[in-house]
A and B are shown apart, each in its own frame.
Chain A
Amino acid sequence: MKKILKLTFILFLICAVTAGILGGINELTYRRIEEQNRLKTVKAYSAVLPADDYEEIDFAAAGIPASIDKVTIDKISKAANGSGYVVESTFSGAQGNITMAVGVGSDLRCTGISIIKHSETSGLGANAASTAEVGVNFRAQFVGEGAGIALKKAGGNIDALSGATITSTAVTNAVAVSIKAVSMLG
């Protein structure tokens, strides 16, 4: 009995000291981490719709369904300068899920897209997110497109990535959905 109490006491002591130190470190860093996370969002969003800050809105309250055309809408944020909205959505590509941020201006035209997370085939679908010329050119095509956005073969203006029709179709569809969602905000 005495031994168990002793062991418990030692373990408790070490846990308490560790917890205390962690609490201190957390106190020192949490503001900075929050700031870094905000900067990250601002950086990702400002690439698609320039603004100093973004405010997340409750899109469910505005009557927008959580999923349109197999595209799940994660977040809609309003640009602080009133120039439009950024829609973050998740949808399935050729290999796995793609998470993408789409900027939609107040004129309901796409202001830019940025792929946040994906697991597409490298050399084919992964080019959609690439920082190389092929990816930059692909994403640049979406700027200025409106609700009727479509791939060239479906009568639109978007050139599909070579060898990656599924990825290109999925991205184009998600941009269309994002524009639709913002239009529903009114």
Chain B
Amino acid sequence: MNIKKQFKEGLITNNPVLVQLIGMCATMAITTTLFNGVGMGLSVLIILTCCNVVVSALRKIIPNEIRLAIFVVIIAGFVTIVDLLLQAFIPALSESLGVFIPLIVVNCIIIGRAEAFCQKNTVGASFFDGIFQGLGYTCVLIIMCVVREFLGSGRFGGGLIDIANGFRFTLDGTGGGIQIFPADYGASILNLPFGGFLTLGTLIAVMQYALKKSAKKKELAEKEAAEAAEKEVEE
């Protein structure tokens, strides 16, 4: 396993949300402001990386029969730690994500990676897998937040960016964001769950289109190479 391949898999070819189609509930529910998206994405990234490392380190002593129970205990432990830390240090984020932080326990991405990857791979590979899969998840959340926030309320970076007193990042969720067009013109239905379904569906379609196109291109190139090789042999 090389890092470059893992990077590409996590972000593009095996993206958790757009290709594996897991962890979609929270994706549709919380992507209304950039503040939520970045917060949720980074929380999942941290939990995923920690769980991956621990599961992979313990992979030789975890008996096969009770592995799922053990995974759940480990995951629940890390989620609770992150939940408590957020409540103590970034209460605004904890409040705005609400139940979706504790719900990471049942997020398929984490148990899915533990089951599919960390059981069979080294600690190092699992660590990078956690980082890249987490980054892939975060990227999707950020794209969805940006699209929904822009179309829904004509804004960029709500909660995270404050431009009222010079450009700065706010961690307490009070930033007003950058208003690109008046909020009255925004299609506010995109801020509702319907907007989540619509945006995610469109994103998945675009991703599948791009993947198919690149696969076709690759196939064509391989075919040409094979033909050229054949020609050489003939000559």
**A111 to B: closest C-beta gap in Å:** 23
Contacting residues, chain A, for B99 (C-beta < 8 A): none
Contact with A along B58-94 (1 / 0, CB 8 A): 1001110110011001101100110011011101000
Q: Do A29 and B85 touch across chains, with their CB atoms under 8 A apart? A: yes
Determine the distance from Cα of A31 to Cα of B51 in the docked complex, in whole angstroms: 27
**Does B207 reach chain A (CB closer than 8 Å)?**
no
A2 CB within 8 Å of chain B: no
- The verdict on A70 contacting chain B, using a C-beta distance below 8 Å, is no
Q: How far is the CA of A22 from the CA of B80 in the complex (A)?
A: 7
- B199 at interface by CB-CB < 8 Å: no
**B188 near A14: Cβ-Cβ < 8 Å:** no
Q: Is B183 at the interface (CB under 8 A from chain A)?
A: yes
A7 and B84 within 8 A (CB): no
In the complex where A21-B77, A22-B80, A25-B81 touch, is A33 in contact with B88 (Cβ < 8 A)? yes
Q: Which residue of the partner chain, among B73, B77, B84, contacts A33 with CB atoms under 8 Å?
A: B84
What B residues does A14 contact at CB under 8 A? 58, 70, 73-74
Contact B87 A11 (CB under 8 A): no
Does chain B have a CB within 8 A of A141?
no
Mostly, the A contact residues are helix
- Distance of A32 Cα from B94 Cα, bound (Å): 14
B73 lies within 8 A of A29 (CB):
no
Give bound CA distance, A167 to B205, whole Å. Answer: 40
Is A18 a contact partner of B88 (Cβ separation < 8 A)? no
Q: How many residues of A contact B (CB 8 A)?
A: 19
Contact B192 A29 (CB under 8 A): no
Closest chain A residue to B69, Cβ basis: A11
Q: Contacts of B76 on A, CB cut-off 8 Å?
A: 18
Within the assembled complex, what's the spacing in Å between the Cα atoms of A49 and B197?
41
A residues in contact with B58, CB < 8 Å: 14
- Residue B191 lies at the interface, judged by CB distance under 8 Å to chain A: yes
Q: How far is the CB of A27 from chain B (nearest CB, A)?
A: 10
| A15, B66: Cα distance in complex, Å | 12
- Chain B residues, Cβ within 8 Å of A157: none
- Chain A, Cβ-Cβ closest to B64: A7
Docked Cα-Cα span, A20 to B164, in Å, equals 45
Pairs A–B under 8 Å by Cβ, sample size 11? A7-B63, A7-B65, A10-B62, A14-B58, A14-B74, A25-B85, A26-B84, A32-B89, A36-B88, A122-B188, A132-B183
* Extra A-B contacts (19), CB below 8 Å, given A10-B66, A122-B192: A7-B65, A7-B66, A10-B70, A11-B66, A11-B70, A14-B74, A18-B74, A18-B77, A21-B81, A22-B80, A25-B84, A25-B85, A26-B84, A29-B88, A32-B89, A36-B88, A36-B91, A40-B95, A123-B188
What 8 pairs between A and B have smallest CB-CB spacing?
A18-B77, A32-B88, A29-B88, A36-B91, A122-B188, A29-B84, A33-B87, A33-B88
